[in-house]
Structure 1
Amino acid sequence: MAAKPSNAEADFGELRARLHRVIPGGAHTYSRGDDQFPSIAPPMLERGKGAYVWDTHGQRYLDYGMALRAITIGYADERVNAAAIAEIEKGVNLTRATTVELAAAERICELIPSAEMVKFAKNGSNVTTAAVKIARAATGRRFVCVPRQHPFFSFDDWFIGTTKIQRGVDGPQASSTLVFDYNDYASLAALFDQYPGQIAAVMMEPATHIVPQGSGDPDSWPKGGHPAGFLHQVRELTRKEGALFILDEMITGFRWDLRGAQHFFDVEPDLSTFGKAMANGFSLAAVTGKREFMKVGSIDEPGMERTFLLSSTHGGEMPALGAFLAATKINEDENVSGHLWDYGTRLRDGWRDIVVHHGLPDHIELEGPAVALNYVTRDAGGEPSPAFRTLFSQEMLRNGVMMPWISFSQAHGATELAMTLEALDKAVGVYAQALEGGVERFLEGPAVKPVFRSHN
């Protein structure tokens, strides 16, 4: 990476101050906040193309953040952009439902095995909350169960109240959410015993870097079998207890498989939520599901009690729906998810070779399947360390790679892999020195912090 312009540090400080002066948190998603990145990271980005992003000084970085995992094809893909621009020319947002709205709805119902109806929105929080409302309306029950290992479902109080951030939360709403442990069937079954006939739904991600118990060795995916014992257990439990099974595919959808992780694991939920990669970065989310449940939001059944479900001026915004149709065609025609699995496998193998070469396989560890890799950084005592995570991210940045987490796209190819492994080799070398001499000697600025903490 070329040397940073001499005035960049002062300029970055001014940009940070300006951001925090007018935007609470300095960004519109907490995951983009200053406390999630090393201090040398640019506070703002100017543009992105393919697998790369550029900061306000023209500095280019190979990106593994991919807009919080919203990009699977690549930044500013001309085909997706052209589809969105074509819809802009038609008016962006009209007074009645539009032709592209119907086409997108029919397309997602054709693709997703469990989808018979769909409601679109602009962000994931709204559709997960909508899924909870559908479950409550369909069952007449109050409680929803979520796993404590899954970091985020919604900015609404029903979920945020389960985290360490309690300021401003309405307690009664939060008390309707029950927490269990992913891959621990007994912990979920115990909630059904404790609240008989009162649980409306169980919501979970199909998988993260933590995969369903009973699904085999992730290193063999997707070529080998991948039964999902835990997911099928939950499916059967909810069916037996009269609760709805909701899969949040905000991250797994259109990344693990064109038809979602539910297709990958051969499990059928009652409701599913999607977002992020479904339109290659355009603002679009969806709640989908079986007609018998989704129809609680319908208006064409005379005399049926109404459920005010999602009602959004911009939910049917045409450019994002056009982008979804174009992105889906590319995903299908070019097997984008297959490329993601292949690239992740090559990255994982090269990564492991490098950390073994440096003698640090127990300190910079990759976990999870190839399509959903996660890196864990450990200190000299073998404990997970935010300081060492920050150091690692810092040194990758020094070598032109922005890797706050690991997400990649179709635009990541052989050149990008080679660049990543070269940066990794250098970063691991500094990491080894820090294990010997102390991380504070090498780390510039504070360590990253958890998003969900009670105080700044």
Structure 2
Amino acid sequence: MTKDGTLRSYARSADAQRSLHRYVPGGAHTNARGSDQYPEDATPIIVRGEGARVLDLDGNWFVEYGLGAKAVTLGYGYKPVADAVAAVAYDGVGFSRPSVWELRAAERFLEQVPTADMVKFAKNGSDVTTAAVKVARAATGRDLVAVCRSHPFFSVDDWFMGTTAMTAGIPQSVRDLTVSFVYNDLDSLRDLLAEKGDRIAAVILEPATGTAEPAPGFLEGVRTLTQQHGVVLVFDEMIAGMRWSAAGAHSVYGVTPDLSTWGKALANGFSVSALAGKRELMELGGLNTDASRVFLLSTTHGGETTGLAAYLAVADAYQERDVVGIMETQGTALKRELDVVLAEAGVSQHVSVFGRPSALVFGTKDAEGKPSQEYRTLFIQELLERGVLAQSLVISAAHTDDDLAVTVEAFRGAAEIYARALEAGSTAGLLRGRPVAPAIREFAAPRRLGA
């Protein structure tokens, strides 16, 4: 709300959102950033960011969480990274031969991730996870891929999207090549490998997520099973890689994969991803192999100097201070304060904050204790009105104590409204517009309540 108690205006943002829907399918270039992920009448279009805050077209400032789909750990406009990018851009961003930045970045990455022998850079996470699948298939001569169905996303490519609700345009023959198992359920993987192990090329999973730590012995068991069956083990480090440790979450748990895939916060929001792993696998895409070569990540912009310079500046920042430790400290403090606020409002059984401190999320339940998109939308709506833009509570090292204080007060006000909805048994009269919807779903967005 504004200082005079009126609702925030999103008029200019709404106009821009309508234009986006005219020109861009879905109105955004990333599903998780779509207008269907936010309250219908509160879809801010961002002009710029500064630290942990963002400004929209209507002049509204927000403390922001989620940080560019978890891609920012140092904060928006982090000067050392921006300066590094600006400096190298004047010398050229791409040439007809490799640049010295490709060598510098590769050397630095392999120092950062000592469990890997080689690395190849690209521009987005989907490319490198798909490249890992291709390498695994080439190395094993097998066709199936086993993915952890407990984890929400691995790639926009058909081998993974065929496992989701959005299968339009994906042949059944492609969909049949991906099978699945359950996180922290070693028996589900053991049974899958016993049945189809002679056809499975790769097992791919996140070593941990913001909502689930590996059970004792689980990752070790996965490592043992994949070795027994000659399967390539791939860890997706997109999120955890720079939030659990710069050396990867697998370094925290002491289990080394054959291949690992990286992106998101690797360059503080600049477009850099990486495939890393054992030399004998990576060389299948190189010039020193007697086997049939894999066409591995040959992209025009994979060696773009600006992105690699950004990565190197991020690596410097992680060496100069404990970025992960700062996120853990601030996330722990935030959760502690929010737990108190939710308990005082009497909604702690319905709104919960959970997960690793550097990657917190919040859950919402209705009056019957069931997960609810309507109640979630109401909560997001009320946070927005109080200056907090939050689909999650994924934090950065730029979140100050003042940012946390704003968030706590926003939660306090939103929790009071939530309590009213729970008492009434409905969000009617409180929720403006339709509820948010899952980003990956088969059909279009839901209509307004009662429509």
> Aligned equivalents of 1:300 and 1:244: distance in 2?
20
Partner of 2:202 in structure 1?
A: 201
The answer to whether the 8 Å contact 2:35/2:43 transfers is no
How do residues 335-374 of structure 1 correspond to structure 2 at under 5 angstroms?
A: 335-374=322-361
The answer to whether the 8 Å contact 1:53/1:60 transfers is yes
Partner of 1:91 in structure 2?
A: 92
- Is 1:271 matched up with 2:259? yes
The answer to whether the 8 Å contact 2:184/2:215 transfers is no
| Structure 1 residue 12, shift from structure 2 partner | 3.2
- Is 1:451 matched up with 2:439? yes
> Aligned equivalents of 1:375 and 1:330: distance in 2?
29
Mark the CA change 1:328 to 1:423 in structure 2 (over 3 Å): closer, same or farther: same
Q: Which amino acid aligns with 1:273?
A: T
How do residues 250-399 of structure 1 correspond to structure 2 at under 5 angstroms?
A: 250-301=238-289, 303-399=290-386
Q: Which amino acid aligns with 1:59?
A: N
> Aligned equivalents of 2:306 and 2:412: distance in 1?
42
Taking only aligned residues, the RMSD between alpha carbons, in angstroms, comes to 1.5
Identity %: 45
The answer to whether the 8 Å contact 1:212/1:231 transfers is no
> Aligned equivalents of 1:386 and 1:270: distance in 2?
39
Once the two structures are superposed, residues 407-456 of structure 1 have per-residue CA deviations (whole angstroms, 9 ceiling, x without a partner) of 11111021111111011111101100111122122111111101121111
Once the two structures are superposed, residues 259-292 of structure 1 have per-residue CA deviations (whole angstroms, 9 ceiling, x without a partner) of 1101111110000000000000000101100101
> Aligned equivalents of 2:6 and 2:271: distance in 1?
34
The answer to whether the 8 Å contact 2:12/2:57 transfers is no
| Structure 1 residue 311, shift from structure 2 partner | 0.7
Partner of 1:82 in structure 2?
A: 83
How do residues 158-237 of structure 1 correspond to structure 2 at under 5 angstroms?
A: 158-215=159-216, 229-237=217-225
Partner of 1:112 in structure 2?
A: 113
> Aligned equivalents of 1:29 and 1:259: distance in 2?
27
Could you tell which deviates more after superposition, 358-367 or 335-344?
358-367
Mark the CA change 1:9 to 1:196 in structure 2 (over 3 Å): closer, same or farther: closer
Equivalent position SS for 1:178 = strand
> Aligned equivalents of 1:232 and 1:87: distance in 2?
42
- Is 1:441 matched up with 2:429? yes
Partner of 1:224 in structure 2?
A: none
The answer to whether the 8 Å contact 1:212/1:230 transfers is no
> Aligned equivalents of 1:169 and 1:439: distance in 2?
38
Q: Which amino acid aligns with 2:430?
A: F
| Structure 1 residue 378, shift from structure 2 partner | 0.5
| Structure 1 residue 233, shift from structure 2 partner | 0.8
How do residues 141-152 of structure 1 correspond to structure 2 at under 5 angstroms?
A: 141-152=142-153
Aligned length: 442
The answer to whether the 8 Å contact 2:53/2:61 transfers is yes
The answer to whether the 8 Å contact 2:374/2:435 transfers is yes
> Aligned equivalents of 1:81 and 1:270: distance in 2?
33
How do residues 42-81 of structure 1 correspond to structure 2 at under 5 angstroms?
A: 42-81=43-82
TM value normalised by structure 2: 0.95
User: Where do 5+ consecutive residues of structure 1 fail to align?
Assistant: 216-228
> Aligned equivalents of 1:389 and 1:5: distance in 2?
22
Partner of 1:430 in structure 2?
A: 417
Could you tell which deviates more after superposition, 192-201 or 341-350?
192-201
Mark the CA change 1:23 to 1:434 in structure 2 (over 3 Å): closer, same or farther: same
> Aligned equivalents of 1:352 and 1:75: distance in 2?
27
> Aligned equivalents of 1:195 and 1:42: distance in 2?
46
> Aligned equivalents of 1:6 and 1:453: distance in 2?
31
Equivalent position SS for 2:240 = coil
The answer to whether the 8 Å contact 1:272/1:287 transfers is yes
> Aligned equivalents of 1:326 and 1:209: distance in 2?
26
- Is 1:137 matched up with 2:138? yes
Q: Which amino acid aligns with 1:148?
A: R
| Structure 1 residue 210, shift from structure 2 partner | 3.4
| Structure 1 residue 9, shift from structure 2 partner | 4.3
> Aligned equivalents of 2:6 and 2:120: distance in 1?
47
Q: Which amino acid aligns with 2:138?
A: A
Partner of 1:13 in structure 2?
A: 14
The answer to whether the 8 Å contact 1:372/1:406 transfers is yes
The answer to whether the 8 Å contact 1:62/1:400 transfers is yes
Q: Which amino acid aligns with 1:156?
A: D
> Aligned equivalents of 2:9 and 2:155: distance in 1?
36
| Structure 1 residue 5, shift from structure 2 partner | 9.6
User: Where do 5+ consecutive residues of structure 2 fail to align?
Assistant: 445-451
